[in-house]
Structure 1
Amino acid sequence: MTQSVTKTHTNVAMLKKLLVFTVVMFGFGYALVPMYERFCEVTGINNLLQPDVLDKNIKVDMTRMIAIELDANVRGMPWKFKPLQASVKIHPGESIEVMYEIRNDSDQEISGQAIPSYSPRLLEKYLKKFECFCFTKQVLEPGEVRQMPVKFVIDPQIPVDINTVTISYTFFALEPGI
């Protein structure tokens, strides 16, 4: 009998611990979304997928040129994705539009989202995008080909030792309904 009571107390204690653990993990999962949003806000990651506001007082620096290399990739989807020009040269402060082309090589509709990355990493502070396909999800029908613009300017305040930058976009598949 004593062994049965001890076993019952042990089981009840374990059940209480598991319930507390479950409630704590649920609370952590619930709090994770605002924590992630705050982290993205602090690090500037969240701003990568939002249009920038054009500063009307920006002056073009005609004394130097910056070479911009354009790159495109896809991950886990049957799309072909490329920039229509491999590189461009601009003066800092000069607005430019570049075009990318995407093609769905599958026999079904697919949704994707492009995520930008930059080199050097500090470029994100100086690159101001006004229009970009990366701001919204893209849905392509089977065999559809689409040309998409990116309009941007590089702030003239970019360090003078930076002469070449790379702007890269990678498309990732989205689950249906997202």
Structure 2
Amino acid sequence: MPLPTFSPRSHNRQMLRKLLVVVVVMFAFGWSLIPLYEKICEVTGINVLARLDENLKGTTALPQNTQVDKSRLITVEFDANSQGAWRFRPVKNSIQVHPGELTTITYEVANQQNRTVAGQAIPGYLPLKSAEYFRKLTCFCFQQQTLGPNEARQFPVVFVVDPKLPKDVQRITLTYTFFEVAGATPKQAG
């Protein structure tokens, strides 16, 4: 019985066909994963957020922050002290906020000197126990501020009063002391 002849060329073609079939099957499987995933999520109820977004389409209502405690109001008072030739004050003296509500207030700082000066604000809280429940997200007190001669600027403070604030605290005073940082700015020739 004669042995079959083995041709490397035919073997390569056969392997190429098998690999092409594997590539096509893999591509089809990858392509079908998206609708398959969506169908599985729809049936099992896993992808709840996507359905909520679809329900909001065409409405002007935004999702509500469920961490805001609408059952109570906290009065937040703002105070400012300065050491040196600064004019420093809050734009508003007080506001009322619900715990958990994102709030922005503004402080004005003016350098009343004829030279560039760097300053730093240090916060204080009354009552003292409120400090751990007063969360500042943005604050000019996080870093030194440099103001040019006679320059005035407004700085925002973005904060949230933690809903875990004890119920007996109904008023918080946020006070800043703004002072010059010696040696923080280059000396100008005089």
For the superposition of Structure 1 and Structure 2, which TM-score range results when normalised by the shorter chain? 0.5 to 0.7
4+ runs of 1 displaced by more than 6 Å? none
- Cα distance in 2 between the residues matched to 1:120 and 1:107: 38
Distance 1:58 1:131 in 2: 22
Between the aligned partners of 2:184 and 2:127, the Cα distance in structure 1 is 35
Task: Report the TM-score when normalising by structure 2.
Answer: 0.62
Counting only pairs closer than 5 Å after superposition, residues 38-117 of structure 1 correspond to structure 2 as 59-75=67-83, 77-117=84-124
User: Using the alignment, how far apart are the partners of 2:87 and 2:179 within structure 1?
Assistant: 12
The equivalent position to 1:131 in structure 2, one of 120, 138, 142, is 138
* Structure 2 portions without partners, runs of 5+: 1-64, 186-190
Larger RCO (CA within 8 A; separation ≥ 6) = 1
The Cα of 1:159 is off from its aligned counterpart by: 0.5
- Which amino acid is 1:93 matched to? G
Q: Name the TM-score, length of structure 1 as normaliser.
A: 0.66
Match of 2:161 in 1: 154
Tell me how large the CA RMSD over aligned residues is.
1.3
Amino acid across the alignment from 1:112 = G
Q: Which has the larger radius of gyration?
A: 2
Q: Distance in 1 between matches of 2:140 and 2:122?
A: 10
1:177 to partner: Cα distance: 3.3
> Is contact 1:58–1:155 with CA below 8 Å preserved after alignment?
no
Any unmatched runs of 5+ in structure 1?
1-56
Please state whether the residue corresponding to 1:159 is helix, strand or coil: coil
Q: Distance in 2 between matches of 1:86 and 1:175?
A: 29
Q: Give the superposition deviation at 1:60.
A: 0.6
1:172 matches 2:171: no
Per-residue displacement from partner, 1:113-163 (whole Å, max 9, x unpaired)? Answer: 000000000111101110000001011111101000000000000000111
Distance of 2:66 and 2:92 partners within structure 1: 26
Check whether the contact 1:108–1:142 (CA below 8 A) recurs between aligned residues.
yes
Partners of 2:163 and 2:108 lie apart in 1 by 29
